[in-house]
Amino acid sequence: MSLELSLKDVLRTTKTHLVKLEKLGVQTVRDMLEFYPRAIESTEITSSFRNIQLGAKNTVSGVLCDVRQERTPRGKKLGKAALVLDDESVLDVVWFQIPYLLRNLKDESRVFLVGKVDRQYGKVQVLNPELHLNQNVHVGSLRAIYPESPPLTSKWFREKMAGLLILAKDMPEIVPTQILSEENFLSKGEAVKQVHSPESAEKWREAKRRLAFEEVFEIQVRVMREKLVREKEAENPYLVLLNAEEVKRDIAGLPFELTTSQKKCLYLILKDYERDRPSHRLMQGDVGSGKTIVSFLAALPILRAGWQVVFLAPTEILASQHFANALNFFPSEFPVELLTGSITPAQKKKIKMRLQSGEIKILIGTHAVLTSDTEFQHLGFAVIDEQHRFGVEQRSRLAREHTHVLAMTATPIPRTLALTIYGDQDLCRIDELPPGRKPIITRVVADMQKIELMNRFIDDQIGKQRQIFWVCPLIDESDKIEAKNVKAEFDRIANEVFPHRKIEFLHGKMRPREKNAVMTRFKEGVFDILVSTSVIEVGVDIPNATVMVIENSERFGLAQLHQFRGRIGRNDMQSYCFLMVGKKDDAQKERLRAMEKSNDGLYLSEIDLKLRGMGELYGTRQSGLPDLRCADLTDVEMLQNARDWALKILKEDLELKAYPALKKRVEEGEVYF
């Protein structure tokens, strides 16, 4: 059997299961074997009461007697039985949903139950246990616990995986022999076998360590190879020497003082221009920290040298804001133009002709800039705002003429991510807010009394001519997700909570022109409250907005909540953020308390990465982010080790000629950022 065989041809299962697997990216035997469990648990069997741990999950074996069905006072069916252990102790067994096996089970059959054993009303009960008629892959040893996504359960995965593990020995080995030997790693085949069906807890940890290293090593090789190839092959046709006096004059002409970290980032970008290769830098800074003005200042030396500059924004709203700011900032000798999807074809044609001739020096736009017929005369500097919202190939078009590239993001980047997926870029941070900005006061709102106090406070703020952002996770009502939606909340807030105030709504399905019109009216103060989805995460500045309410805040990552929060507090007025939770006893509430204690985006992103994982750093799993099954991106020592090995291998063999399996895997895989 081949590792590349489709699961449709191998597994005996339902179409529903196969469709769900496909959504998870699991389509071949190899994909299945690389769908690693997240944990293991012991199912060591006991048939003696003295070996049972009360209050914990146990695996107990005994004779099942007195099997019956009962109904609760509300009419719900329960399955009940008595389990007689070998020492003649008796446990009460209760099933909330009656197992299929129970329906045809003979009385006094020996069974194995896996479930929580606890004392209830003076009796010892096994609550809602798994039922097994014999020892199998679920009972009697360590067993794997998989990331579950109904109808795909750990039980289903264990049963299907058992028949495929014979092929683990055929898994391709991409980690060089030298590394396997020096790090004392298991082979890939043995690691795959032990991670799914471990002989011991120690073997499982060994397997996880080996597979985690491979995941990160592969990323490091891919990212560092791209950087080394770029540095080896590229020349810098847009070399500009740093003119300190000129830079001082540019900064002195600003109507405000730059922060120390803004000056530091500007200096690093300008020094990049002096290198013998094009720069590839990522500048991170919270919303409102002043990234845009740094990029404008960095563009001036390129423009004075006679070359062109492009600013790429993810939305028309943001592109229009950059355009308005650029018109005010750049001298008239450097013509500025805006290119977005809503501009007419005739206008686009004129803009592109003027761009190709070199008449336009600064182009600001959206994805509309990235079409094949958009040609610059000499593009010296490209700025990409919120780079993860653009595809890798789209971004690479701007750098194909050895252009200097500056990517900007408001998403905090933990040190561990800087060591991995951002490893091919030089990183600088703006870690200060402009002078006069006050820390945003944040509160978790989890009960009716606090909601009433919050509503009175908001009404008072509106009375003081302040404006409010009100964020909901969904656009429409969903049967599958319990969360507030924009349309229903808009009706409730407008008709029940604040009927005397002016309210509008905004969501991502609206046309760009409609969204622009709503945001423009909000900025002009035409209405008081904007009920919106996360589309406001990247948007125009509303200096008069001092309050943000986020419904179902537990559904968002801390890094994304921090970005939402950054849409307010854009002036010297005190601003407030209210994090509402969907349920009073929501387990996420304690996680949200970190937002009350800190306005430090990097600190919050580190917490997010630890608790929710990298895929949730932006609030939703982003395309372009690697899907790590084993690696823990808070393990700095492991990341650094993988990085060191990747550099050692690449410096000896940049083309990876001696490592064909690694070369194949690297070249087939995704390029990240």
- pLDDT tier at 391 (50, 70, 90 boundaries)? low
How far are the Cα atoms of 174, 413, 514, 581, 595 from residue 608, in angstroms, in the given order? 31, 11, 34, 17, 11
Is 357 a residue whose pLDDT tops 50?
yes
Between 481 and 501, name the one with better pLDDT: 501
Strands (DSSP E) found in 472-599 = 503-506, 529-532, 545-550, 576-580
The DSSP letter of residue 196 is: H
Considering the domain delimited by 441-598, tell me its CATH architecture.
3-Layer(aba) Sandwich (3.40)
Q: CB of 197 within 8 A of CB of 33? A: no
Report the C-alpha gap between 127 and 105 in whole angstroms. 19
Between 97 and 609, name the one with better pLDDT: 97
pTM, full prediction: 0.70
**Residue in 563, 568, 577 with CA at minimum distance from that of residue 619:** 563
Is 524 a residue whose pLDDT tops 50?
yes
* The pair of three-digit structure tokens given for residue 596, joined into one six-digit string: 């009350």
The DSSP letter of residue 152 is: B
pLDDT number for residue 552:
87
- pLDDT tier at 567 (50, 70, 90 boundaries)? confident
Q: What are the sequence ranges of the domains in the chain? A: 44-140, 244-275+290-409, 441-598
What is the percent of the chain with per-residue pLDDT over 90, rounded to a whole number? 56
Residue 12, CA atoms < 13 Å, CB-side half-sphere:
3
Considering the domain delimited by 44-140, tell me its CATH architecture.
Beta Barrel (2.40)
Angle at 612 between CA 153 and CA 671, to 5 degrees: 90
pLDDT number for residue 627:
62
Considering the domain delimited by 244-275+290-409, tell me its CATH architecture.
3-Layer(aba) Sandwich (3.40)
* The pair of three-digit structure tokens given for residue 458, joined into one six-digit string: 């908001």
Is 617 a residue whose pLDDT tops 50?
no
pLDDT number for residue 587:
47
Give the SS3 label for residue 633.
coil
- What mean pLDDT do residues 562-584 have? 84
- pLDDT tier at 499 (50, 70, 90 boundaries)? very high
Is 626 a residue whose pLDDT tops 70?
no
Report the C-alpha gap between 673 and 654 in whole angstroms. 20
Q: CB of 224 within 8 A of CB of 424? A: yes
pLDDT tens-digit profile of 445-491? 988 899 999 999 999 999 999 999 999 876 554 444 445 688 888 99
Least confident span in 130-139, 286-295, 512-521: 512-521
Q: CB of 581 within 8 A of CB of 443? A: no
Is 521 a residue whose pLDDT tops 70?
yes
Is 59 a residue whose pLDDT tops 60?
yes
pLDDT number for residue 669:
66
Pairing of strands 90-95, 123-132: parallel
pLDDT number for residue 510:
82
Report the C-alpha gap between 360 and 358 in whole angstroms. 5
Report the C-alpha gap between 388 and 454 in whole angstroms. 35
pLDDT number for residue 55:
92
* The pair of three-digit structure tokens given for residue 410, joined into one six-digit string: 């408001």
pLDDT tens-digit profile of 75-107? 888 999 999 999 999 999 999 888 888 877 888
Tell me whether domains 44-140 and 441-598 share a fold: no
pLDDT number for residue 526:
94
pLDDT tens-digit profile of 428-448? 999 887 777 788 999 999 888
CA dihedral 128, 150, 99, 92 (to 10 degrees): 0
Averaged pLDDT of the chain: 87
In DSSP notation, 329-391 reads HS-TTS-EEEE-TTS-HHHHHHHHHHHHHT---EEEESGGGGSTT---S-EEEEEEESGGGS-
* The pair of three-digit structure tokens given for residue 472, joined into one six-digit string: 């909901």
Measured from the Cβ of residue 479, the count of other Cβ atoms closer than 10 Å reads 5
Is 577 a residue whose pLDDT tops 50?
yes
